[in-house]
Structure 1
């Protein structure tokens, strides 16, 4: 059978079973962290909150956040560098702890986003809900949060065949719920051991678990929503991606979003040394110890060729 005669593969799957799974994930991993964060704040007068809880929150946020940006995004979705099997597994596991879905599903969704960015087919564009204030607000709420309740599920056989051929990664993805549970159990156990009480364990669960997931999720989601509407656009790209320089450290470099869409195969989202990109700092560190290699940074002339001149930016504005 020739390629022309081969049957076309469906790019998305939409059926009641998939939508039930999406609603369940939305409740467990998107709504529950909100409830847990409210509980953590309400229980401040009676539960420990000090250096231990702050360290657990910051430490687990750093581990799971870098797992998302370096692992899920730059390595598995865009293949911006190569990693050893050990590094691949560790990045997939720590990314799973963020509660944003198994690595194979996440990659399929994000590749579809790049294919249809800010056009029909984009799972989470803020720019497809009409004009005016109402359209803007509806688009922002959809792209930031509500799209996850129910959406067309990208066919992983179409969007992530490379990951499906990697049995080790498929196995990590299948155990996504267990890796997430591990990411919640670690701060719970540490909090209990430090304080030698169940109150300490509960505080560790709330701050290193629920609050950490809540903060990380909304930081990452803000890139989908706000940075597809507002910010600077120094490089040519067909969609409405923007940079948010002020958030670069908080987002592990992900807020250099226009840079990323202009050069999706680059592991360095900042592109220049003076633009902070903690995700790239980790990649450079892993490269120095031989865990990653083949960093596909664009050449200076490639970057210059895509730069939008000042007069063009003013005209676009």
Structure 2
């Protein structure tokens, strides 16, 4: 039971910071926050994502490119241009690292206002941090796992962030329902989405990329949106009007 609780906590805390901070803030700027608050969220992202920490700067550039060039040859992750999910994610990883190391040609408009903390991110994205987190996961499982099959969950822990990305970037472009006709293959993966905290309403999002609430129909619950409203009320962030009414 302890292992399953730990897995669920890692899954949802990692995903929360990816969808709230990396996706809705860094990539889409749906709300604003102070530079100090940015650093707090960068640290919390590292704390929750662990060995699969994603730089909000590289993620932001990558995702902006995805929206600008969705399902074209310039899209950094499109099922149309890769033969399988593994090939797509490997290409995504390569582009991510090239962006992080300034080896990928990117127009300045895709870099505008992205959160960046170079000193900390160099550490958080380094191999020492990743191996240290991975070691902690293994030790936790050695201490608390009661069945052999539980150890099969470890690879997901190691690659939690990319695992979440693969679910949306592959399956939400290949299966699911289409509500809005777009010039891309985006789909809504689930009718009600608690597994991916609203991220699977992908066709909704491509149609309304500035909308903070990914759900549109009454039954499309976006579990992250109430937290966005709460943080706005607490003045941790400031929601942009267009993000509410888009």
TM exceeding 0.5: yes
1:103-154 alpha-carbon deviations (Å, 9 max, x no partner): 211211111111111011111111135xxxxxxxx154433x3324644754
Q: Which runs of 5+ in 2 are unaligned?
A: none
Q: Is the counterpart of residue 119 in structure 1 residue 64 in structure 2?
A: no
**2:58 aligned with 1:105, yes or no?**
yes
CA distance in 2, matches of 1:128, 1:290: 42
1:170 is matched with 118
Shift of 1:216: 5.1
Taking a change above 3 Å as real, the CA distance of residues 182 and 92 of structure 1, as seen in their structure-2 partners, is: farther
The aligned residue for residue 160 of structure 1 is 111
- Alignment pair present for 1:146 and 2:90: yes
Residue in structure 1 matched with residue 26 of structure 2 by the alignment = 76
Larger mean Cα displacement after TM superposition, 95-104 or 225-234: 95-104
Q: How many angstroms apart in 2 are the aligned matches of 1:242 and 1:85?
A: 34
Indicate if the aligned counterparts of 2:24 and 2:212 stay in contact, CA closer than 8 A: yes
- Matched residues in 1 for 2:43 and 2:235: separation? 20
Q: 1: CA distance between counterparts of 2:200 and 2:180?
A: 14
Q: CA deviation at 1:259?
A: 0.9
Alpha carbons of structure 1 residues 202 and 71: separation in structure 2 relative to 1, 3 Å: same
220-229 vs 252-261, greater mean Cα deviation: 220-229
- 1:199-210 equivalences under 5 Å are 199-200=142-143, 210=155
| In structure 2, distance between residues paired with 1:224 and 1:146 | 12
TM-fit CA distance, 1:80: 0.8
Alpha-carbon distance between aligned partners in 2 of 1:174 and 1:226, rounded to the nearest angstrom? 31
- Secondary structure in structure 2 of the residue aligned to 1:278: coil
Larger Rg: 1
Paired with 2:156 and 2:135, the residues of 1 have a C-alpha distance of 14
Q: Partner of 1:229 in structure 2?
A: 174
TM-score (normalised: structure 1): 0.61
Aligned to 1:283: 228
Asked if 1 retains the 8 angstrom alpha-carbon contact of 2:215 and 2:222, the reply is yes
Shift of 1:188: 6.7
* Distance in 2 separating the partners of 1:231 and 1:150: 28
**1:125–1:139: 8 Å Cα contact kept in structure 2?**
no
Gaps of 5+ in 1: 1-49, 130-137, 193-198, 303-317
